[in-house]
């Protein structure tokens, strides 16, 4: 009998995106059909109790292959990664996890003829020579961080497996992701998450980038939407595969603080730039996502105003429920 339901494995399931992607995938395919994996044990009930969870170091190809065989996996969302700021503190670890982990996924997909792989990239692939305004999808990629270097290599490696072995591999370049569910996790754009926590809890925040720093951002519901929209697209309609720009919104740190102050008038934001400022300065302020809009009908739903309202409401409720 032919199985019609996808069997999905997600790496990095405890991370910012993975932890919110898992519940949506389990709604789609059933709890038992989505296997969450991460190097650390899960903290949330959704990951711990509502479907299979396995501890997995993505650098361990043997164990990864065993789980894929055991659960009869045909689709992988490879979300495990060391992010930009952490990658600058531990560059060797970033290379090992981000490159060897991806190579393991791709080799297992080739050997076992998996149906579809999602391997996300990032705006970190861009560098100071990339156009800062409306950076196109095809442009100069000369990143200044180890994280960005691994993501450029990952895009090229994924495309190689598409062209050389005929695999179905897809990926978007995530901008900074803002989430009400997961704390900051070592990225340069994480100020845009932490600022909400501190605004609600203490009404003060010291920001690690300048007030005029503008970066591409995206609210988590749009991040999940972009991921699933691309995975649902007809492969034959895609001209690209592993490097789609996806734009949500762009704003400065000061603009975000001002938007928060509309709802929390006593909130005070100060600025004390650190080493992450140089990383932010190397990235574009806005990106051109025309190929994603044309090839798989990508459109975001949230802007700065609607994101801020939703973020404050959801995060306040979550933080208050813990107190």
Write the burial class of residue 183 (CB in 10 Å: 0-12 exposed, 13-18 middle, 19+ buried): exposed
Per-residue burial over 223-261, b if 16 or more Cβ lie within 10 Å, else e, is bbbbbbbbbebeeeebebbbbbbbbbbbbbbbebbbbbe
Pairing mode, strands 34-38 and 8-11: parallel
The answer for residues whose C-beta is within 8 angstroms of residue 217's C-beta and 6 or more apart is: 175, 176, 177, 178, 189, 192, 248, 249, 250, 251
Beta-bridge mates of residue 177? 218
Is residue 77 annotated as part of the catalytic site, yes or no?
Answer: no
Burial of 142 (0-12, 13-18, 19+ CB in 10 A): middle
Q: Which of 71, 77, 147, 219 is catalytic?
A: 147
Mind telling me the catalytic residues? 147
């Amino acid at each position: 009998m032919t199985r019609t339901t996808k069997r999905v494995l997600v790496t990095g399931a405890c991370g910012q995106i993975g932890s919110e992607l898992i519940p949506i995938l389990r709604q789609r395919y059933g709890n038992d059909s989505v296997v969450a994996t991460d190097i650390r044990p899960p903290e949330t009930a959704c990951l711990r109790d509502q479907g299979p969870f396995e501890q997995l170091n993505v650098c361990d190809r043997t164990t990864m292959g065993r789980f894929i065989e055991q659960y009869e996996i045909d689709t992988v969302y490879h979300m495990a990664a060391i992010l930009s700021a952490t990658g600058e503190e531990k560059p060797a670890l970033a290379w090992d996890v981000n490159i060897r982990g991806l190579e393991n996924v791709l080799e297992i997909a080739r050997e076992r003829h998996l149906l579809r792989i999602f391997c996300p990239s990032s705006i970190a692939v861009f560098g100071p020579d990339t156009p800062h305004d409306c950076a196109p999808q095809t442009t100069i990629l000369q990143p200044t961080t180890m994280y960005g270097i691994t993501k450029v290599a990952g895009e090229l490696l994924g495309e190689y497996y598409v062209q050389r072995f005929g695999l179905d591999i897809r990926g978007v370049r995530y901008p900074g992701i803002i989430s009400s569910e997961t704390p900051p996790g070592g990225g340069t754009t994480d100020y845009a998450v932490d600022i909400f926590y501190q605004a609600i809890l203490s009404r003060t925040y010291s920001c690690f980038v300048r007030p005029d720093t503008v970066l591409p951002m995206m609210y988590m519901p749009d991040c999940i939407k972009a991921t699933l929209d691309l995975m649902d697209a007809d492969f034959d309609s895609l001209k690209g595969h592993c490097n789609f720009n996806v734009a949500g919104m762009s704003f400065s740190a000061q603009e975000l603080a001002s938007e928060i102050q509309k709802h929390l008038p006593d909130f005070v934001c100060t600025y004390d730039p650190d080493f992450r400022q140089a990383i932010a300065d190397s990235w574009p302020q806005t990106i051109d996502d025309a190929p994603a809009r044309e090839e798989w009908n990508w459109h975001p739903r949230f802007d700065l105003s609607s994101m801020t309202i939703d973020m404050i409401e959801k995060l306040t409720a979550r933080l208050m429920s813990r107190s």
